[in-house]
């Protein structure tokens, strides 16, 4: 990395040294709402501009627009198939078709009650996890709770055996790392991603065959039996859901606990009023979002005039959602954690056609998780503050969050 005075605010934000508290850098980023970077990409950091581009049909999520990525071919070893891009890396009309084909089994209009209907089962999983901590004086929010919870949930929802977790956890991690702009060029990273997804796809292909023979009440069974989606698309979609279910909610829950412990008055109020969790979760999504920038890079399909700058056709566009959610032009006193905030139109789940598919599930998991954590953990205390963070700047969250507790209340 070059010396500090030569680096851009965005480069400093990417630097691991900023991971603990990137927020002061956002003030600097927002001084230039649309800032061209040395590598030619454009970083967008203000609320208005981000929202505008999230809804702009001239902004593509399909990296095949970049010829160097479109041309990546991974060697066909042992028949491992290269998966087609998942729907978050597609544009309409393909995006709409694929997303609707999964939504049919996940939410409205086809199955509006599915996620809400998962509440009792989620509570059961949460209760089990917390019961398991009964004898402990020290816990790790990540390993003991925030990671196993969403994994259990996505496995059940998708129809993936939980005991295979060590297997797909590795692929999931590699895949997520390839979204981390600090781990190589966009081409290198995408090559690695394609390779990893191919292996994950091969694993899922076996599962899909099994589910076709013996369908269950899970999404993978639904996708293979209704035949609306071609098999390769079923595999990339499942891979996407598995990875997203894996790597995002863990950060939301962990960031949430950290934030609550830093704001004991909010924690106390939440303990007494579980209904408050609804607003707490929304403010967490604004204040400490698990995703600072969407993984898939976006590209300009045409020249785009915005905020006094022209983003030339073909440029990579990086939307720093977390900075938009702290934009003082949109949110009063943006660096204050205030669950009572009115009109909290945060960008925690993005916006536009790529609005987080799993948002309703993440909300439900986090609401129940926080409510239970604050009610059952007795006198939780942070052991370190700030904690050590995971490497990626885009999927931001602590690697571990050790807490000292005086026990766990009975459920």
Residue that is written with structure tokens 């007795």 in the block: 378
* Nearest distance in Å: CB 32, another protein: 23
Neighbours of 371 (CB within 10 A): 22
The site map against another protein for 36-75 (x = CB under 8 A) is: ----------------x--xxxx-----------------
Which of these segments, 212-220, 273-281, 288-296, 402-410, binds another protein (CB under 8 A)? 273-281
161 binds another protein (CB under 8 A): no
Residue 52: partners with Cβ closer than 8 Å, 6 or more residues away: 306
- 278 touches another protein (CB under 8 A): yes
Q: Is 179:295 a contact under the CB 8 Å cutoff?
A: yes
Query: With CB under 8 A as the contact rule, which of the stretches 66-74, 202-210, 233-241, 345-353 interacts with another protein?
Result: 345-353
Q: How far is the CB of 365 from another protein (least distance, A)?
A: 13
121 is a site residue for another protein (CB under 8 A): no
Walk across the sheet containing 138-140 and list its strands.
138-140, 402-404, 381-382
94 binds another protein (CB under 8 A): no
Q: Vertex 283, ends 124 and 292: CA angle to 5°?
A: 95
On whether the CB atoms of residues 107 and 359 are closer than 8 A, the answer is no
Angle (CA) 153-197-162 rounded to 5° is 25
* Contact flag: residue 411 with another protein (CB under 8 A): no
Looking at 77-85, 131-139, 164-172, 277-285, which segment touches another protein (CB under 8 A)? 277-285
Site residue total, another protein (CB under 8 A): 34
State the minimum distance, in angstroms, from the CB of residue 279 to another protein.
6
Q: Pick between residue 292 and residue 367 the one whose CB is nearest to another protein.
A: 367
DSSP one-letter string for 99-161? HHHHHTTTSTTTSTTTTGGGHHHHHHHHHHHHHTTTT-SEEEHIIIIITHHHHHHHHHHHT--
Q: Report the alpha-carbon distance of residue 162 to residue 155 in Å, rounded.
A: 6
Minimum CB distance to another protein smaller for 118 or for 267: 118
Q: Which position among 351, 387, 392, 397 is part of the footprint of another protein (CB under 8 A)?
A: 351
Stretch near another protein under the rule CB under 8 A, chosen from 67-75, 173-181, 232-240, 337-345: 337-345
At what angle are helices 249-262 and 148-158 packed, to 10 degrees?
Answer: 150
Distance CA 253, CA 144 (A): 12
Give me the residues that bind another protein (CB under 8 A), please.
52, 55-58, 92, 96, 100, 107-109, 112-113, 115-116, 275, 278-279, 281-282, 340, 342-345, 349, 351-353, 355, 359-360, 363, 367
């Amino acid at each position: 990395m070059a010396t500090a005075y030569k680096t851009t605010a965005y480069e400093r934000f990417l630097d691991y040294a900023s991971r603990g508290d990137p927020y002061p850098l956002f003030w600097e980023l927002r001084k230039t709402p649309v800032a061209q970077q040395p590598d030619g990409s454009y970083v967008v950091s203000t609320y208005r501009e981000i929202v505008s581009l999230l809804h702009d049909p001239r902004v593509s999520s399909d990296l095949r627009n970049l010829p160097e990525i479109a041309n990546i071919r991974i060697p066909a070893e042992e028949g491992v198939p290269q998966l087609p891009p998942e729907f978050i890396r597609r544009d309409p009309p393909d995006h709409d078709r694929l997303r609707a084909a999964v939504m049919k089994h996940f939410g409205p209009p086809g199955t509006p009650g599915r996620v809400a209907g998962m509440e009792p089962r989620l509570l059961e999983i949460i209760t089990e996890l917390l019961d398991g901590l009964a004898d402990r004086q020290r816990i790790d929010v990540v390993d003991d709770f925030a990671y196993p919870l969403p994994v259990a949930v996505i496995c059940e929802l998708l129809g993936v055996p939980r005991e295979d977790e060590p297997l797909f956890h590795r692929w999931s991690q590699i895949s997520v790392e390839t979204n981390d702009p600090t781990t190589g060029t966009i081409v290198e990273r995408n090559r690695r991603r394609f390779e990893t997804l191919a292996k994950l796809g091969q694993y899922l292909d076996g599962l899909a065959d099994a589910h076709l023979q013996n369908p269950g009440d899970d999404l993978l069974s639904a996708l293979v039996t209704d035949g609306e989606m071609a098999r390769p698309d079923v595999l990339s979609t499942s891979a996407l859901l598995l990875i997203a279910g894996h790597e995002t909610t863990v950060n939301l829950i962990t960031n949430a606990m950290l934030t609550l412990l830093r704001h004991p008055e909010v924690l106390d109020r939440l303990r007494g009023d579980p209904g408050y969790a609804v607003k707490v979760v929304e403010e967490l999504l604004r204040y400490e979002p698990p995703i600072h920038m969407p993984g898939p890079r976006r590209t300009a399909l045409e020249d785009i005039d915005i905020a006094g700058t022209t983003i030339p056709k073909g440029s990579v566009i990086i939307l720093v959602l977390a900075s938009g959610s702290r934009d003082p032009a949109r949110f009063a006193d943006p660096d204050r954690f205030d669950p009572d905030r009115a009109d909290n139109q945060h960008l925690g789940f993005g916006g536009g056609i790529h609005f987080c598919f799993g948002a309703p599930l993440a909300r439900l998991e986090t609401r129940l998780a926080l409510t239970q954590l604050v009610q059952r953990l007795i006198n939780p205390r942070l052991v370190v503050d700030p904690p050590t963070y995971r490497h990626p700047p885009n999927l931001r969250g602590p690697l571990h969050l050790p807490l000292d507790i005086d026990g766990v209340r009975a459920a």
